[in-house]
Amino acid sequence: MKITPMSTTPATTASSRPAAAPVLDIDALLDDRSTEIIVCCGAGGVGKTTTSAALALRAAERGRKVVVLTIDPARRLAQAMGIEQLDNTPRPVPSVGADAGGSLDAMMLDMKRTFDEVVESQASPEKARQILENPFYVALSSSFAGTQEYMAMEKLGQLHRQALADGRYDLIVVDTPPSRSALDFLDAPERLSSFLDGRLIRLLVAPARGPARLMTAGFSVVTNALAKILGGQMLKDVQTFVTALDTLFGSFRQRADKTFALLQADATSFVVVAAPEPDALREAAYFVERLTDDDMPLAGLVVNRASPSARTALSAEAAITAADRLQQGDSSSVTAGLLRLHADRVRIIEREQHLRERFAAAHPKVPTAVVPAMASDVHDLDGLRAIGESLARQS
Amino acid sequence: MTASTDRPVDWPKVRLHVVTGKGGTGKTTVAAALALALATSGRNVLLCEVEGRQGIARMFDIDPLPYEERRIAKGAPDADGRAGQVHALHIDPESALLEYLSMYYKLGRAGKALDRIGAIDFATTVAPGVRDVLLTGKIYEAVQRPRGGRHKDQVTYDAVVLDAPPTGRISQFLGVNSELAGLAKVGPIKSQADKVMELLRSPRTAVHVVTILEEMPVQETSDGIAELRAAGLPVGGVVVNLVRPQELSPSALALVRDDAVDPTAVTSDLTRARVDVDAGLVESLVAEARDHAVRRQLEDEQRALVAAEGVPTYELPRLAGGIDQGALVELAQLLRLQGMA
């Protein structure tokens, strides 16, 4: 199905952006060869995955050698991109325009496999097997709330190292997991690694490290308490697990630190994605502040799903008044219906504009691009191209 | 608008209403409206959130909620004008664990030691499923609370509404207890998990799914329902949120779609209504209606898919002015008129 924006009337789109927000120049960002990584982040349900895919496709068709790492694309979009199979390896996307000399590979993150690979690459085969078979590891690697974020960052690090080594890619676009909150994505890697490196683990593995560290007062208090709560068997599983994983602690922390540094580097750009809704913009504001605090390079804000602007300047109030008049005579008046629809459309746009202006007032320096809502979901390359086009066309 | 008392309620036996949905569908709004709708005729309802977002506080425009039950609003009044009370609770796993520990164990200094070395952090963030069992455990306590409470000042609730994690995580969140049971084979956490699971699988629980009439959310709703059923969790209704205004009748919509609207008639109507009219205005209004008709048609396609799920469905309109407390009461009345509460 062909996707087109519902309406764009130049006269009203120009004035519908808050005056304070500078425009995010997407093509300049994509064409800048010093941009090596673009991370798309934002609340759930705002179209992050679509935005990442659209940016990646546009960059590729403008000559970049791109790989896009998606987390959980809609089934049909995944099919269109040739990545419905989750095999954790980038695959070329079919039918990408190659005239400008670029290319596009895509992959879907398999967090458990990524975790397994880290373990396998760091531990001896014997030890790796012990870890991979531990029930605690199985649960941790597939369901811990932060694992997905951690593994997305791990995969990003791997792709980046590979890109540096063989030059296969010069741009990596990353979609981020639908986190519980904005915090998770930036904090999970640190949290997981500090857990694995933490004092609790030190205490739990203490017996395995020899008699010198054995049975401090703190240790028995803690293990007794844990045994009470979790039951002895689970505690034993945990102990076996952390003991086996012991050798990997250092490398986990090192990797997390490296990834964090990579995100802070100039070659990285964050694009915060939002929808013109209070919650999504609040999360976006939070992200923007957090990125600034952590010295992460912020490219700008993309506001997806903006309602189509009105096609005429008739005010909502005038339209309602007129509709009331008509309906006094004829309650089924079609013209009254047209007027009420128009009033509704104007009110929604005014509300969205107000929300964006509030954001811009609080964050006047954040470049912004607004993308009108598409009539239906995007599930092919043409749809992604249309999104990329409207991202770039911010007159 | 006043709710009729005649309409039989669809979920008379349900004490725990779990509200889930894809991000961006307005799950928190629906949970809040449902809580208001249930809080009628002097009934007490507890509205809980577990994701640390403070979405309830924002929705009701109050200070961030502590780990403590608070009365936050009057419910939507019944036909006789009698309302009930909505209370709210923000459940965070750390507080839930500490409360759990002090309730079941005399840990004393060990509790502090646990916190200091990061065991609380461990139990609530890293240990698989423990976090979720603590959250659902607290909800279980509120649902099962005996009449008169466990101590004075404690409110007993007629219903509990949970603003739950999104559809993609809901089965894991609710079913996590069985996963946990595999890890913790014995012990108090395991027996706690079993009790919670029994409530969640019983007819006293209903898991409602919020969606909007777009392809992905509807697909996710259908996947979510299948997953809940497979996990043996009781599927409630589907709440279709943010439905477009129905200002045009089906026949008017057909006219618009077929490009059969008569511009002369519209022009004369507008003149009669004393609008400054020109050809451009008529053209624009008709074009806007055409945009609308395209979307209404897409909505209808999705609506048919929702109906095919074979569960009760409820529709709430998209309100142009956004959501404030007045709007929540309006939505609550609409839910009640449709028999959800």
Q: What is the 3-state secondary structure (H, E, C) of A141-204?
A: HHHCCCHHHHHHHHHHHHHHHHHHHHCCCCEEEEECCCCCCHHHHHHHHHHHHHHHCCHHHHHH
- Mutation to test the A interface, candidates B222, B288, B292, B302, most A Cβ within 10 Å: B288
How far apart CA B300 and CA B307 sit, in angstroms, is: 10
User: Does the beta-carbon distance from B273 to A322 stay under 8 Å?
Assistant: yes
Q: Do A226 and B114 touch (CB under 8 A)?
A: yes
Chain A residues with CB-CB distance to B189 below 8 A:
229-231, 234
Q: How far is A225 from chain B (nearest CA, A)?
A: 7
Across chain A, mean pLDDT equals 82
Nearest CA to CA, how far is B205 from chain A (Å)? 24
Written as six digits, the tokens of A389 are 């086009």
Among the partner residues B119, B190, B294, nearest to A231 by beta-carbon distance: B190
**Which chain B residue lies closest to A47 (C-alpha atoms)?**
B24
Span B16-247+306-337: which CATH code?
A: 3.40.50.300
Angstroms from A319 CA to nearest CA on chain B: 8
Nearest to B160 by CA among B201, B197, B206: B206
Pick from A46, A134, A279, A349 the residue to mutate for testing the B interface (most B CBs within 10 Å): A279
| pLDDT per position as a tens digit, A5-64 | 444 444 444 444 445 689 999 999 999 999 999 999 988 888 899 999 999 999 999 999
* Binary contact (B101, A234; C-beta < 8 A): no
A311 closest CB neighbour out of B185, B189, B284: B284
- Sheet bearing B235-243, strands edge to edge: B70-74, B85-90, B44-49, B159-163, B16-21, B205-211, B235-243, B313-317
On whether the CB atoms of residues B76 and B34 are closer than 8 A, the answer is: no
Q: Which residue from A minimizes the CA distance to B24?
A: A45
Cα of B203 to nearest chain A Cα, Å: 28
The reported pLDDT for the residue numbered B227 is 93
Using a CB-CB cut-off of 8 Å, the residues of chain A touching B120 are none
Phi, psi angle pair for A67, to nearest 5°: -125, 135
Nearest to A338 among B109, B113, B289 (CB): B289
Please indicate whether, in this complex, the C-beta atoms of A145 and B131 are within 8 angstroms of each other: yes
Question: Residue A349: what are its φ and ψ, rounded to 5°?
Answer: -65, -40
pLDDT the model gives residue A8:
40
Q: What is the pTM of this model?
A: 0.86
> What is the model's pLDDT at position A199?
64
pLDDT at B70 (0 to 100)? 94
Whether residues A229 and B105 touch (CB distance < 8 A) is answered with yes
B305, HSE (Cβ side, Cα atoms, 13 Å): 21
Query: Given A280, A312, A344, which is nearest B280 (Cβ)?
Result: A312
Alpha-carbon gap: A66 to the closest alpha carbon of chain B (Å): 26
Contact residues on chain A for B272, CB-CB shorter than 8 A: 325-326
A272 token code pair: 């915060």
Please state, as a whole number, how many other Cβ atoms lie within 10 Å of the Cβ of residue A293. 9
Comparing CB atoms, the residue among B214, B269, B275 nearest residue A318 is B275
Cβ contact B287–A351 (<8 Å):
no
Subunit contact B289:A277, Cβ cutoff 8 A? no
State the sign of the Cα–Cα–Cα–Cα dihedral A278, A284, A287, A292: negative
Alpha carbon dihedral B163, B165, B166, B169, in 10-degree steps, equals: -150
Determine which of A334, A353, A356 to mutate to test the interface with B (most B C-beta atoms within 10 Å): A334
Contacts of A325 in chain B (CB under 8 A): 272-274
Q: How far apart are CA A391 and CA B217, in angstroms?
A: 23
Digitized pLDDT (tens) for each residue of chain A, 395 residues in all: 444 444 444 444 444 444 568 999 999 999 999 999 999 998 888 889 999 999 999 999 999 999 999 887 777 778 888 777 767 889 999 999 999 999 999 998 888 888 898 888 888 888 888 888 887 777 677 665 567 777 888 888 889 999 989 999 999 999 987 765 555 666 766 666 666 666 666 666 655 444 444 445 555 666 676 676 666 666 777 777 777 766 666 677 777 778 778 888 999 999 999 999 988 998 899 889 989 988 889 999 999 999 988 999 999 999 999 999 999 988 889 999 999 999 999 999 999 999 999 999 999 999 999 999 887 778 889 999 999 999 999 86
CB B55 within 8 Å of CB B94: no
* Cβ neighbours of residue B150 closer than 8 Å, sequence gap 6 or more: none
Chain A: give the shortest CA distance to residue B9, in Å.
31
Contact B24, A45 (CB under 8 A): yes
Does B126 sit within 8 Å of A195, measured CB to CB? yes
- The class level of CATH for A10-392 reads alpha beta
Query: What number of C-beta contacts closer than 8 Å exist between A and B?
Result: 222
Contact state of B23 with A46 under an 8 Å Cβ cutoff: yes
Query: Could you give the CA distance from residue B169 to residue B131 in angstroms, rounded to a whole number?
Result: 13
Measured between beta carbons, the chain B residues lying within 8 angstroms of A318 are 275
Q: Which of B24, B266, B320 sits opposite A46 (nearest CB)?
A: B24
Give chain B's length.
341
The Cβ-side half-sphere exposure at A169, using a 13 Å CA radius, reads 26
Residue B128 to residue A139, Cβ atoms within 8 A: yes
- Asked if A333's CB is within 8 angstroms of B285's CB, the reply is no
Interface contact A341-B110, CB threshold 8 A: no
Yes or no: say if A391 and A57 are a contact pair by the CB < 8 Å rule.
no
Are A234 and B295 in contact (CB < 8 Å)?
A: no
Cβ contact A311–B295 (<8 Å): no
Give, in order, the Cα–Cα distances in Å from B44 to each of A34, A363, B37, B39.
59, 42, 11, 6
From chain A, pick out residues whose CB is under 8 angstroms from the CB of B121. 195
> Measured between CA atoms, how close is B144 to chain A, in angstroms?
22
pLDDT tens sequence for chain B (341 residues): 444 455 689 999 999 999 999 988 999 999 999 999 999 989 999 999 998 788 999 999 999 999 999 999 999 888 888 999 999 999 988 888 878 777 766 666 666 666 666 666 666 665 556 778 788 889 999 999 988 777 777 899 999 999 999 998 888 888 755 555 555 556 666 777 888 889 999 999 999 999 999 988 999 999 999 999 998 999 999 999 999 999 999 999 999 999 999 999 999 999 999 999 998 999 999 999 999 999 999 999 999 999 999 999 999 999 988 899 999 999 999 999 999 99
Contact residues on chain B for A180, CB-CB shorter than 8 A: 51-53, 165
Q: Check CB contact under 8 Å for B249 and A332.
A: yes
pLDDT of residue A145: 58
Nearest to A233 among B111, B186, B286 (CB): B186
- State whether B214 and A377 contact (CB < 8 Å): yes
Our measurement of the distance from residue A198's CA atom to the centroid of its chain's CA atoms, rounded to an integer in Å, reads: 28
Distance from CA of A385 to the nearest CA of B (A): 19
List CB contacts (< 8 A) between B255 and chain A: 334
Residues of A in contact with B123 (CB under 8 A): 229-230
Task: Judge: B101–A229 Cβ closer than 8 Å, yes or no.
Answer: yes
Residue range(s) occupied by CATH 3.40.50.300 in chain B: 16-247+306-337
- pLDDT for A147 equals 72
Nearest CB to B285; choose among A226, A280, A312:
A312
Distance from CA of B246 to the nearest CA of A (A): 9
First to last CA, chain A: 27
**pLDDT of the residue at A4:** 45
Half-sphere exposure at residue A373, Cβ-oriented, CA atoms within 13 angstroms: 19
d(CA B142, CA B155): 9
Query: What integer pLDDT is reported at residue A196 of this predicted model?
Result: 62
Query: What pLDDT score was predicted for residue A377?
Result: 75
